[in-house]
């Protein structure tokens, strides 16, 4: 069974004469442990597609099966439960909680789970250590550099231990060196079995992935194996 199965997905924004059809019949199947980049011109529907895969938004038409469950028919509450269980996000501008510490930001996905404070602390410490940011744990995230912030965002995605990690232009606000480091981390997570899907404009970023899906005007234009395959 595929992990992600999109069948003839349409997404329309707006009403009446003001509509934009952002996705026009997208079919996409993704298996466990894949590492994919989504590329395409600005406005082609990449973020819309990622938002639908991430259960942040629902398609106007079509069926989305996540781990065999048709999520298009679920209520908001169920949808957010599945999202929290299965999906982590990494964003271009990190989406951290500015007035909180590194520890608090990384611990965020764990508060909703039934874990003791000790268990939370152990898990968070483990991933801070793994990413080499344990020394920053008590710092306010607003005091960090871009590269450090993105490491915090990755630690937060790792601590959730979800099968799927979605990233929208995760290297967009980083310099080349930090961008390359970030992609190495994604490779490592992928080797550990995570399914990773990254939106990027950057061919160099895409070259780290195993499959490249190109979108043009709301449709899949090509779907090819990457260099790492």
- Per CB under 6 A, residues contacting ligand ADP are 13-14, 20, 22, 40, 42-48, 92, 168-169
Q: Sheet harboring 219-225: ordered strands across?
A: 87-91, 164-168, 195-199, 35-39, 211-216, 219-225
Q: How far is the CB of 187 from ligand ADP (least distance, A)?
A: 23
Nearer to ligand ADP, 22 or 128 (CB): 22
Nearer to ligand ADP, 88 or 171 (CB): 171
H or E segment to which residue 76 belongs:
helix 76-86
Nearer to ligand ADP, 128 or 150 (CB): 150
Q: How far is the CB of 105 from ligand ADP (least distance, A)?
A: 21
- DSSP states along 119-159: HHHHHHHHHHHHTT-GGGTTSBGGGS-HHHHHHHHHHHHHH
The number of angstroms, rounded, from the C-alpha of 34 to the middle of its chain's C-alpha atoms is 13
Nearer to ligand ADP, 13 or 203 (CB): 13
Phi then psi for residue 215, to 5 deg, are -115, 135
Q: How far is the CB of 121 from ligand ADP (least distance, A)?
A: 33
Residues in a beta bridge with 198: 37, 167
Q: Of the candidates 9, 15, 51, which has an alpha carbon nearest to the alpha carbon of residue 27? A: 9
- DSSP states along 201-213: S-HHHHTTSSEEE
Nearer to ligand ADP, 18 or 111 (CB): 18
Q: How far is the CB of 218 from ligand ADP (least distance, A)?
A: 7
Nearer to ligand ADP, 107 or 157 (CB): 157
Q: Sheet harboring 4-13: ordered strands across?
A: 20-30, 4-13, 61-66, 69-70
Nearer to ligand ADP, 48 or 209 (CB): 48
Q: How far is the CB of 44 from ligand ADP (least distance, A)?
A: 4
Question: Is residue 227 classed as helix, strand or coil in its secondary structure?
Answer: coil
Question: Is residue 110 classed as helix, strand or coil in its secondary structure?
Answer: helix
Q: How far is the CB of 53 from ligand ADP (least distance, A)?
A: 12
Q: How far is the CB of 100 from ligand ADP (least distance, A)?
A: 23
**Is the distance from CB of 156 to CB of 106 less than 8 angstroms?**
yes
């Amino acid at each position: 069974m595929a992990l992600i199965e999109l069948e003839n997905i349409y997404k329309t924004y707006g009403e009446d004469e003001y509509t934009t059809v952002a996705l026009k019949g997208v079919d996409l199947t993704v298996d466990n442990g894949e590492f994919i980049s989504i590329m395409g011109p600005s406005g082609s529907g990449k973020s819309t597609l990622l938002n639908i895969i991430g259960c942040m938004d629902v398609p106007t038409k079509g069926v989305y099966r996540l781990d065999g469950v048709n999520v298009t028919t679920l209520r908001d509450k169920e949808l957010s439960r599945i999202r929290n269980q299965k999906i982590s996000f990494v964003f271009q501008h990190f989406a951290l909680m500015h007035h909180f510490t590194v520890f608090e930001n990384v611990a965020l996905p764990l508060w909703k789970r039934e874990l003791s404070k000790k268990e939370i602390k152990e898990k968070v410490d483990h991933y801070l250590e793994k990413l080499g940011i344990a020394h920053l744990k008590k710092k306010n995230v607003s005091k960090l550099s871009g590269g450090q912030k993105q490491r915090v965002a990755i630690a937060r995605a790792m601590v959730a231990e979800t099968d799927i990690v979605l990233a929208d232009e995760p290297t967009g606000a980083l310099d080349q060196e930090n961008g390359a480091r970030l992609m190495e981390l994604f490779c490592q997570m992928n080797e550990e079995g995570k399914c990773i899907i990254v939106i990027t404009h950057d061919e160099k970023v895409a070259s780290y992935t195993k499959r490249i899906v190109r979108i043009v005007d709301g449709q899949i234009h090509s779907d090819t194996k990457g260099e790492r395959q």
